[in-house]
A and B are shown apart, each in its own frame.
Chain A
Amino acid sequence: MKAVQILYIILIVLTSCTTILKTSPTVSKPIIVNVDTLNPEKMRNDTIRYLQTEVVNKKQKYIGQPVELLLKDLKYEVKYYIVSTTMNVDPKKEIVRGLTVIFHSQKEYYQLEDRYDDARVLTISLKTTITYDEVMPLLNKYNGNWSQEIREYYGKQIVSDVVVPGLLLK
């Protein structure tokens, strides 16, 4: 009797699945696995190690040079960035002191469990004096995302320092 009941339940489930398959217009798609998600901690540590040894430890090469020189050397693609400024109640008086380039998309970045310390980022301090008011239109134009136009704009600015912020390798 019990076996019959189990068979009956299985039959109902299979019937339901068939119903969905028949009525759903969705076409199955292959699952795309993002390699970054396979071992995010290793990925992060590899990136930070690379940034520390190949960029920060060799920062004399970049200080006093256009940002583009540094960007050209990076082996990871910049996808998102955040502008740092001096603090002022009037945003027009804020001076850009650097930009943090982020190797995650904006969406990925805000889904990190601890974005402060798990993100793969590099902070570039600028020697050039530019106001936040000046860079805001470009920031808004691409919703904060990185683009070729933004690369060209910041690429002309002069580097004063390069750091991997925060806690380094875990």
Chain B
Amino acid sequence: MKKIILLVLIFFNVMPNIKQGVFSITCTSFANAQGAGEGYGSEPGDLSEVHLCSSTHTTIEWDEGEFHITETCTIKNTWDKDSKTCIEDPEIMADCKRVITNTSNGSNPPPDDGDEDPNNGNEQSSGNGNNTPPPPNNNPPPPPNNTPNPCSTAAKAGGTAATSLYNNTSLTSRINEYKTNLTNWGADEHMFGIGYNSITGAYQPSYNNVIGNGNSINGAQFTFDAGYSFYGMVHTHPNSSGPSATDLSELFKSGMTTSYTIGADGSVYALSVTNASLFNTFAGNYLKTSDIGSDGYFSNSSSLNFDFEKMYKSIRDDAGQSWGDATAGALGQILADKNAGVSMYKLVSNGTFKAIGASETTDFTTGKTTFDINKCN
């Protein structure tokens, strides 16, 4: 039997990627010969047409690089009266879904240190226990996008740095002041700079605050002690959105390393540069003045706009997440997809910043692709 499974898998060229195959088959044809379907999970003696042509359900899981993919499908069979066989028609598919998650995503069993280990032995069989071969898969799963993982090692390192800076005691009282007063400050964004002394290794909040007009704080100037250079900033988002395309653009133009946003709902997000050279390339391609819209996000002429729109709306409307998570998750995924050298983070309950992006689910029946926030471990 193993031999047959192997041959089927090789035939459809999925063998190298298969991590685990769970096949639950309710029916195939036994009409030609009694017992010919041995091992297929049905009773050879039951030859009722209805039973013979019930649907075939399969679940296949495999890893593709940093992605873990689960595809479930129901193949509807049709009864061929002439040959008295049940024909699995790959054109007639129902309830087919493909879910792509990062291997270090919280929805999968994560290793303690967050490092990926696809062979950690945590797989659970969801099948009926029959070690049966899959039906011929005439619609083999397509390859996933060859996109970088928002939970990559570099992104995680950026999260560690963002956590360390945010918890620096020199900034604590100023951050708390912002959190406390944010809701009383109305619609205008408030901002302070973070200075860094490369000789002493010390950080310092700027002496001054900059108050924006609405959501605009361009051209902010900060005052530090001598020896400190502009390193990062903290600013408020009274509408609790995640960091915007304008925030990303300001991060690039100012040469900062990390930019935090604090929302009125208590959410805190960070953008942190993980590779200055890649960020430079990304900004040259995608953060031109014409790429940024009047609302601070991408303009209609940006090639990042329509996908950003799709992702944040889906995270908000389909997955029911907050607006902040929706906008931050969508932008975080774009940054990962484009290998932008900058990552998106969210402050989680244990006081650390976790890289975030968007996970993608495709329903092959309806053709609809939806997204949810992906919080990396």
**Hey, which bits of chain A sit against chain B, CB under 8 A?**
12-13, 16-17, 19-20, 22-27, 29, 82-87, 89, 91, 97-98, 100, 102, 105-107, 109-117, 121, 123, 125, 136, 143-145, 161, 163, 165-167
Q: Return chain B residues, CB-CB under 8 Å to A123.
A: 300-301, 305-306
Across the interface, A106 reaches (CB within 8 A) one of B4, B240, B338, B368, namely B368
Chain B 18-42 interface mask (CB, 8 Å, partner A; 1/0): 0000000000110111001100100
Given A16-B4, A107-B362, A113-B146, 13 other A-B contacts at CB below 8 A?
Answer: A25-B31, A25-B77, A26-B88, A82-B306, A83-B309, A84-B306, A86-B295, A91-B316, A97-B300, A106-B369, A117-B303, A165-B301, A167-B303
Say yes or no: A29-B145 contact (C-beta < 8 A), given A82-B306, A82-B310, A107-B362: no
Q: 8 Å CB contacts to A: which residues of B213-241?
A: 239-241
Nearest-neighbor residue (CB-CB) of B295 within chain A: A87
In the complex, identify which listed stretch (B134-142, B154-162, B248-256) lies at the interface while the others stay far away: B134-142
Query: What is the bound-complex CA distance between A144 and B337, given in angstroms?
Result: 22
Given A25-B85, A84-B306, A89 and B367 contact (CB-CB distance below 8 Å): no
Interface size range of chain B in the complex: 35 or more
Question: Are B323 and A89 in contact, CB atoms less than 8 angstroms apart?
Answer: yes
In the assembled complex, the CB of A48 is this many whole angstroms from the nearest CB of chain B, namely 11
Give the shortest distance, in Å, between B356 (CB) and chain A (any CB). 18
| Contact across chains for B366 and A143 when beta carbons are under 8 A apart | yes
The answer to whether A107 touches B295, judged by C-beta atoms less than 8 angstroms apart, is no
A84 smallest CB distance to B (angstroms): 5
Show 28 residue pairs from A and B whose CB-CB distance is below 8 angstroms, ordered by the A residue. Answer: A12-B3, A17-B7, A20-B8, A23-B37, A23-B40, A25-B31, A25-B88, A26-B138, A29-B138, A83-B309, A84-B309, A85-B309, A86-B295, A89-B239, A91-B313, A100-B300, A100-B305, A106-B368, A111-B142, A111-B143, A113-B146, A116-B307, A117-B303, A123-B306, A143-B367, A161-B300, A166-B303, A167-B303
Given A106-B369, A116-B334, A167-B300 contact (CB < 8 Å) = no
By a CB distance below 8 angstroms, the chain B residues around A121 are 306
Known contacts A106-B369, A110-B369; decide if A165 and B305 are in contact (CB<8 Å).
yes
Closest Cβ of chain B: how far from A20's Cβ, in Å? 6
Within the assembled complex, what's the spacing in Å between the Cα atoms of A82 and B302?
14
Known interface pairs A89-B239, A91-B317; A19-B368 also in contact (CB < 8 Å): no
Q: Are A26 and B306 in contact (CB under 8 A)?
A: no
Interface string of B258-298 (1 = CB under 8 A from A): 00000000000000000000000000010000000001110
A115 pairs with B145, CB closer than 8 A: yes
Q: Which residues of B contact A (CB under 8 A)?
A: 3-4, 7-8, 28-29, 31-33, 36-37, 40, 77, 80, 85-88, 90, 135-136, 138, 142-143, 145-147, 239-241, 285, 295-297, 300-307, 309-310, 313, 316-317, 323, 327, 334, 337-338, 360, 362-364, 366-369
CB distance from B153 to the nearest CB of A (A): 22
The 8 Å CB contact of B307, one of A13, A82, A144, is A82
Q: Is the CB of B367 within 8 A of A105?
A: yes
The answer to whether B367 and A107 have CB atoms under 8 Å apart is: yes
State whether A115 touches B307 (Cβ < 8 A): yes
Residue of B nearest to A15 (CB): B3
Contact of A110 with B362 in the complex, beta carbons under 8 Å: yes
Q: Cβ of B316 and Cβ of A116 under 8 Å apart?
A: no
Distance in angstroms from A101 CB to nearest chain B CB is 10
Q: Which of B138, B147, B305 has its CB near the most chain A CB atoms (within 10 A)?
A: B305
Residue numbers in A under 8 Å from B77 (CB-CB): 25
Minimum Cβ distance to chain A for residue B135 (Å) = 7
Q: How far is the CB of B185 from chain A (nearest CB, A)?
A: 17
Q: State the CA gap A102–B40 with chains docked (Å).
A: 42
Question: Among the interface residues A107, A112, A136, which one has the most CB atoms of the partner chain B within 10 A?
Answer: A107
Tell which of A13, A87, A145 touches B297, judged by Cβ atoms closer than 8 Å: A87
A25: contacting residue among B3, B87, B309, CB under 8 A: B87
B73 to chain A, nearest CB (A): 14
